[in-house]
Amino acid sequence: MNVYDSARMADVLAPHGYRSVGSPDDADLVILNTCHIREKAAEKVYSELGRLRKIKTARDKNLNPMLIAVGGCVAQAEGEEIWARAPWVDIVFGPQTYHRLPEMLASSQRKEAVFHAEFSAEQKFDLPLQINTSASTSEYLTIQEGCNKFCTFCVVPYTRGEEFSRPSRNILREASQLIARGAREVTLLGQNVNAYLSIDEYGSKISLGELLFQLAELPNLERIRYTTSHPRDMHKELLDAHRQLPEVMPYVHLPVQSGSNSVLTDMNRRHTADDYRHAIDQLRTARPDIAISSDFIVGFPGESEADFLDTLTLVREVEYAQAYSFKYSARPGTPAAIMRKQVSEDEKKARLAELQNLLRQQQISFNKKFIGKTVSVLLERHGRHNGQLVGRSPHMQMVHVNASDSLLGKLVQVNIDGVDKNSLSGHLFTDKFQQPKVTN
Ligand code: SAH
Ligand code: SF4
């Protein structure tokens, strides 16, 4: 979501003469778009600000002075602390205010207070995109922001505010613009993307499933993905979209966090481990080859060894294609941060290592199943080696293949002959005339 927001910031600033550059060294303005989800992410901001201070003070006096802005969720949550710890910062703004960047820049010399979120994401959306720039083959598109679920460990409801779903027609318009600029895959984003719900101009309710059906009609959109979903919001239309639409990729990121019911209750997830198993069963019934990914937190306050074993059991049952896992990080202002029975750092570390080991084995076995198979790959960029292009399979695996640049942005068929934990490799499937099989 920060990648999407950063691109929109560039769009907002373009009419004011700003363009993106590759390094902060000669930039007139540096914006750190920050993440507050775990302590480590938040602390990185201060070390980065230290680095920027040196560049700012060493700036040749004949050049424009460098302005430093801190945006995103750390700015929202710790604005005053940023001013105190890094007084060389010029602008601090929350994640729902970037549409006001030009105005902030105009007043930045006066060091105004933090630009806090107005707590509706509504205003910042639907700013004009930079129509002259080309889009990447695969683009993000935020359709929903914020969260009303208040899991006890999570800062998102406080930093991103209330759930807001963009009107479907604005999403369809933005998707069409991205396609016109060259995108072939769109990933719909939301903190609770499957809680998406809007009302269209005819007064009908549009859920994520219905939105997928509408997007699938757009010409030249080959692939649609969405992330991140919540197990409580797996609705029938979404399952129908997986069952019926070839454009909707067979991959779902469905975080469970823990396999223990008592931990899930303390997390205020409002679903049990069995509810989650049921959601997975429904997805697999709708689309048997669907790949599942998840997020896990180990060492949530009060998590016992038995609770942790419940998580391992669930992982063994589900068999994940890939997953992210984290040590619980106490976040100021969240209920879990002051729960008694915090788990020791050593235990968290040991549990994370065990869980990650199991998840790694599952990812490797998942990838190995593709050896000898032909998969469709949307080629997105150059690889590290000469003549190599990289793209993704329908199941989100990175695939390396030797292919000519003319195939960038195309869907090709690839015979898989190599596998490691993070990626697959193969060669182009060719017909008897040695022509690669290209689908668009
Ligand atoms: N809305 C999504 C998750 C958004 S946050 C959901 O409900 O699943 C992304 C991930 O960061 C979470 O799934 C969780 O695994 C992790 N996370 C959030 N807060 C955390 C914390 N305090 N400590 C460790 N991991 C955390
Ligand atoms: Fe955070 Fe996701 Fe829970 Fe919302 S549903 S509070 S974003 S973990």
At residue 108 the predicted structure's pLDDT band, cuts being 50, 70 and 90, is low
Q: Which of 142, 147, 268 to mutate to test ligand 2, by most ligand atoms within 8 A of the CB atom?
A: 147
pLDDT given at position 127: 55
Question: Which pLDDT tens digit goes with each residue over 22-61?
Answer: 899 989 999 999 999 999 888 899 999 999 999 999 988 8
Q: Going by C-beta distance under 8 Å and a sequence separation of 6 or more, which residues neighbour residue 343?
A: 299, 300, 301, 302, 303, 328
Q: Going by C-beta distance under 8 Å and a sequence separation of 6 or more, which residues neighbour residue 328?
A: 153, 297, 298, 299, 300, 301, 303, 336, 343, 348
CA of 37 to the centre of ligand 1 (A): 7
CA of 150 to the centre of ligand 2 (A): 6
Question: Which pLDDT tens digit goes with each residue over 145-168?
Answer: 999 999 999 999 998 888 999 999
Task: Taking residues 252-274, report their average pLDDT.
Answer: 98
> Which residue's CA is the nearest one to ligand 2's atom 1?
154
Range name among 134-143, 204-213, 222-231, 398-407 with the lowest pLDDT average: 134-143
Provide the residue ranges of all domains of the chain, joining segments of one domain with +: 2-118, 123-368, 374-428
At residue 11 the predicted structure's pLDDT band, cuts being 50, 70 and 90, is confident
pLDDT given at position 379: 97
Ligand 2 site, residue 192, Cβ cutoff 6 A: yes
Cα distance between residue 93 and residue 312, in whole Å: 41
> Which residue's CA is the nearest one to ligand 1's atom 11?
37
CA distances (Å), origin 163, targets 156, 198, 208, 215, 235: 10, 11, 14, 22, 17
CA of 154 to the centre of ligand 1 (A): 6
Ligand 2 site, residue 156, Cβ cutoff 6 A: yes
Per-residue pLDDT at 420 exceeds 50: yes
Q: What is the mean pLDDT of the chain?
A: 91
> Which residue's CA is the nearest one to ligand 1's atom 13?
295
Which ligand 2 atom sits closest to the C-alpha of 148? 4
pTM of the predicted model as reported, rounded to 2 decimal places: 0.92
Q: With the C-alpha atoms ordered 270, 271, 273, 276, is the resulting torsion angle positive or negative?
A: negative
Q: Which of 151, 264, 267 to mutate to test ligand 2, by most ligand atoms within 8 A of the CB atom?
A: 151
Question: Which pLDDT tens digit goes with each residue over 224-257?
Answer: 999 999 999 999 999 999 999 999 999 999 999 9
- Long-range contacts formed by 54-63: CB under 8 A, 24+ apart: 55/24, 55/25, 56/88, 57/88, 63/26
Question: Which pLDDT tens digit goes with each residue over 133-144?
Answer: 678 999 999 999
Question: Which pLDDT tens digit goes with each residue over 388-397?
Answer: 999 999 999 9
CATH of domain 374-428: 2.40.50.140
CA of 152 to the centre of ligand 2 (A): 9
In this structure, what DSSP letter does residue 233 have? Answer: G
Cα distance between residue 376 and residue 132, in whole Å: 30
pLDDT given at position 123: 60
- Asked if domains 2-118 and 123-368 share a fold, the reply is no
CA of 194 to the centre of ligand 1 (A): 16
CATH topology of domain 2-118: Rossmann fold (3.40.50)
Ligand 1 site, residue 76, Cβ cutoff 6 A: no
Ligand 2 site, residue 154, Cβ cutoff 6 A: yes
Ligand 1 site, residue 158, Cβ cutoff 6 A: no
> Does the 123-368 domain belong in CATH 3.40.50.300?
no
Range name among 20-34, 92-106, 341-355, 407-421 with the lowest pLDDT average: 92-106
CA of 316 to the centre of ligand 1 (A): 21
Q: Which of 36, 37, 271 to mutate to test ligand 1, by most ligand atoms within 8 A of the CB atom?
A: 37
Range name among 102-106, 112-116, 174-178, 179-183 with the lowest pLDDT average: 112-116
Task: Taking residues 195-210, report their average pLDDT.
Answer: 94
The ligand whose atoms approach the alpha carbon of 255 most closely is 1
Per-residue pLDDT at 377 exceeds 80: yes
Per-residue pLDDT at 132 exceeds 60: no
CA of 329 to the centre of ligand 1 (A): 10
pLDDT given at position 111: 53
CA of 369 to the centre of ligand 2 (A): 33
Which one is predicted more confidently, 229 or 65? 229
The H or E element containing residue 31 is strand 29-34
Per-residue pLDDT at 107 exceeds 80: no
What token pair was written down for 234?
């797996």
The ligand whose atoms approach the alpha carbon of 192 most closely is 1
> Which residue's CA is the nearest one to ligand 1's atom 12?
295
pLDDT given at position 83: 87
pLDDT given at position 284: 98
Among residues 44, 147, 48, the alpha carbon closest in space to that of 95 is found at: 147
Which ligand 1 atom sits closest to the C-alpha of 330? 22
The H or E element containing residue 32 is strand 29-34
Per-residue pLDDT at 79 exceeds 60: yes
Ligand 1 site, residue 255, Cβ cutoff 6 A: yes
Q: Using the structure block, give the residue that is written with the tokens 């080696």.
A: 385
pLDDT given at position 294: 98
Ligand 1 site, residue 37, Cβ cutoff 6 A: yes
> Which residue's CA is the nearest one to ligand 1's atom 21?
329
CA of 168 to the centre of ligand 1 (A): 27
Ligand 2 site, residue 230, Cβ cutoff 6 A: yes
